[in-house]
Structure 1
């Protein structure tokens, strides 16, 4: 934990003359309070504010004052032990001794100043150890402190991001702490460069007196997931690095479609060249791209068209989905129907894998099931068997249920006999200027297995136009399909595998 819980400890030490009493102190946010390992002599009021649980009081015989000492120190760092003598006297020798077995050995010394204060600095070992110390006044009385123990531990970098998901170019905050607390340690924030396959410096800082540090940087303008870590660079001889933290840069989502809904497009090779930055600027926040086809020649063209455009669309900040155009064989042999469904599902799974699976920014796969791919003599049971076989196989392979694209009339005519089909989410196509895509001006409510009471047709995406202004959306064709999403920005981000933006 980076933020320790507030402490309500009572440190009330009765001491002989010259030894300060550590009074009761109130609850303090310990992580936010700065302390120093190089402590000067403390006053009672300062003792009241002393809130570091790693600092412990040291008792001593009359005439010697020891300031609280750290109970834990990071390997390879400098630290000080300090105090005073009473009465004050200059040039009195103070000894620092360690105990091994029953024997005490002097390992350092210093002289008092005119006011009686003294301080001695040393460097922690580079290997883990637990050492017993005492302080001795080197005079005829040999006034001593009580024994105290310091544990020398490998430093640890605690590090978290305050913004696991942000919009492009927005600030990302990181906070962290070196434990045991160590002052003026150089720390460097790094980001992993996937292309160079190495960690790259983003910012530098030094730890505060309590070992804490923080960074604020601006997120990239490219929507993807980034990995960050912190490493020590100076002030500590034992090189240390934190665990990595992931930050997702997620698209800004605005409701720019009809009725304030979130706008998107879908394209195939018929849209020709695409300027995805222009598409984004026109208000689209997602695009479905034809990536495969059940007919071999059409499939080859779909692959050639989609392969460069899927990453290009993501780079422009658009969420991207791949759709497959279903082609049912012209046969009444159910085995051949099922074989075609399995083969086309394998094709879609392969295309999905080729573009990184369900990485952030990827919308669900889509089965485009419409009249142009279904021979007229195909029966309802055959059509239903194809759809269920395809959808279930893709679901099992990818872990997510694909969307089913079609129009209400086709759903009614070919996919009406099995109510379990309603488990597949819909991308519905209906170009009538009405608020409900399940209604036709000519026939009224179009009843499907998805239709609920009141002619409510649940949908995830609605293709409401096939005559959008192509040039405005960056395509070379005159027209482009336009779609809206049924839910909120947060729901769309979740559908695309992003955490909610901050």
Structure 2
């Protein structure tokens, strides 16, 4: 029998064969993975077109059907595709030609653009469009009407106004002709109150004063004093806000509704019970504003003061975005004639008050500014009684007795032109986020 040599090669060969088979499997799997990634990448490139392949276009948001000559309005829109970051021209039609009023640049990221223009006084009708590259928007046609005539006799050469409630009454008629002669262009009168007893006290004054003020040529606005219930139940909050909005809307209708001499209704929110959460205060306020707008087809005005807005309202993005749709009437002691005073800014110890209306320099985007509560009632035709002593000899409206005194009247200034104030009356001036910086 022949002896066999020891099989030293066979195990090595078997290991090599097994290793080769394993490498082949790995290689095969790796090839499949690479192929899958490559196919996925190709498909994704096919599915998402390049920026250049996206359709190039320019858009512009709708403009109100009518503007006031001289009114400032902020237009906005968006560019897409290769037009992002490009110039956008705002053009109006003059005869058969298009004239560029303003040129702005859209943002490279997102393509948004905005531009503030002034409605020209030279035409009763306006055709306007936006142009970017060779693309243009649809032409929008707008009527242009003449503004009401207001004098700018307020401090800082602004348009002056007052706000009135039962606290300005001693039982005698107010002289609105004298008030108008002193330069008052508008008067906000307390029209309604969420507390029934206070609401009843407001009715006789607003019913008498509103027509008298309009007859003297003074614009009239009404305000509702909010009474937010002490509850953590959002259903109760919503129901109460809707009821108070319905109350204000009914009062507006009883006073004749909106006409060419009436400013938007105001919501006055201040002095809320500290146990009510910020969430409930915010919910109540927005519910009232929404309900009032739905009932009257006009965007209301919001009134409060800096510390309350900063401390009692949510400061999240949705709240800020919504609040910026409303004109702000801000109570802040100060001198409108002092150019160093910025409405909304605080003192050196607290320069910034957080709010939707705050800008990067801590000043506010505001529409009305209640700058003092110490106006001269004698000057503006409001009878008064001294807080102490006797009546001076050189006045005509002082009456014997005791009351809050001569200097007890809220004075306000308007942040805009006569055209802007007329536009606010007509409902064509609505705030937008594009106005903020």
Does residue 202 of structure 2 align to residue 302 of structure 1? Answer: yes
The aligned length equals: 252
Picking from 258, 265, 282, the partner of 1:358 is 258
Corresponding residue for 1:457?
A: 364
Flag the 1:342–1:291 CA change in 2: closer, same or farther, 3 A. Answer: same
Picking from 130, 136, 161, the partner of 1:264 is 161
The Cα of 1:306 is off from its aligned counterpart by 0.6
Corresponding residue for 2:331?
A: 429
Picking from 419, 422, 425, the partner of 1:493 is 422
Does residue 317 of structure 2 align to residue 317 of structure 1? Answer: no
Confirm or deny: 8 A CA contact 1:263 1:485 kept in the other structure. Answer: yes
Equivalent residues in 2 for 1:95-174 (5 A)?
none
- Greater relative CO, 1 or 2 (CA 8 Å, sep 6+): 2
Confirm or deny: 8 A CA contact 2:269 2:303 kept in the other structure. Answer: yes
The Cα of 1:448 is off from its aligned counterpart by 1.2
Confirm or deny: 8 A CA contact 2:279 2:314 kept in the other structure. Answer: no
Corresponding residue for 1:416?
A: 314
Picking from 176, 185, 189, the partner of 1:285 is 185
Q: TM-score, normalised by structure 1?
A: 0.48
Alignment partners' CA distance in 1, 2:159 and 2:176: 17
Flag the 1:498–1:343 CA change in 2: closer, same or farther, 3 A. Answer: closer
Confirm or deny: 8 A CA contact 1:360 1:498 kept in the other structure. Answer: no
The Cα of 1:249 is off from its aligned counterpart by 10
Alignment partners' CA distance in 2, 1:383 and 1:438: 21
Picking from 482, 485, 488, the partner of 2:411 is 482
Confirm or deny: 8 A CA contact 1:251 1:317 kept in the other structure. Answer: no
Alignment partners' CA distance in 2, 1:438 and 1:251: 28
The Cα of 1:355 is off from its aligned counterpart by 1.8
Deviations 1:289-347 (A, max 9, x none): 00100000000111121111111110010000000000011222222211110110001
Does residue 302 of structure 2 align to residue 400 of structure 1? Answer: no
Confirm or deny: 8 A CA contact 1:341 1:389 kept in the other structure. Answer: yes
Deviations 1:343-368 (A, max 9, x none): 10001100111122211010010000
Confirm or deny: 8 A CA contact 1:251 1:318 kept in the other structure. Answer: no
Picking from 361, 365, 388, the partner of 2:286 is 388
Alignment partners' CA distance in 1, 2:147 and 2:360: 37
Output the aligned Cα RMSD. 2.1
SS in 2 for 1:494: helix
SS in 1 for 2:373: strand
Picking from 447, 466, 469, the partner of 2:354 is 447
Flag the 1:498–1:446 CA change in 2: closer, same or farther, 3 A. Answer: closer
Alignment partners' CA distance in 2, 1:487 and 1:316: 22
SS in 2 for 1:404: strand
Alignment partners' CA distance in 2, 1:369 and 1:465: 18
The Cα of 1:251 is off from its aligned counterpart by 5.1
Larger fraction in strand: 1
SS in 1 for 2:302: strand
Q: TM-score, normalised by structure 2?
A: 0.55
Question: Structure 1: which 5+ residue stretches go unaligned?
Answer: 1-164, 166-247
Larger fraction in helix: 2
Confirm or deny: 8 A CA contact 1:432 1:440 kept in the other structure. Answer: no
The Cα of 1:476 is off from its aligned counterpart by 2.4
Confirm or deny: 8 A CA contact 1:361 1:498 kept in the other structure. Answer: no
Corresponding residue for 1:344?
A: 244
Does residue 176 of structure 2 align to residue 276 of structure 1? Answer: yes
Question: Structure 2: which 5+ residue stretches go unaligned?
Answer: 1-67, 69-144, 385-405, 429-437
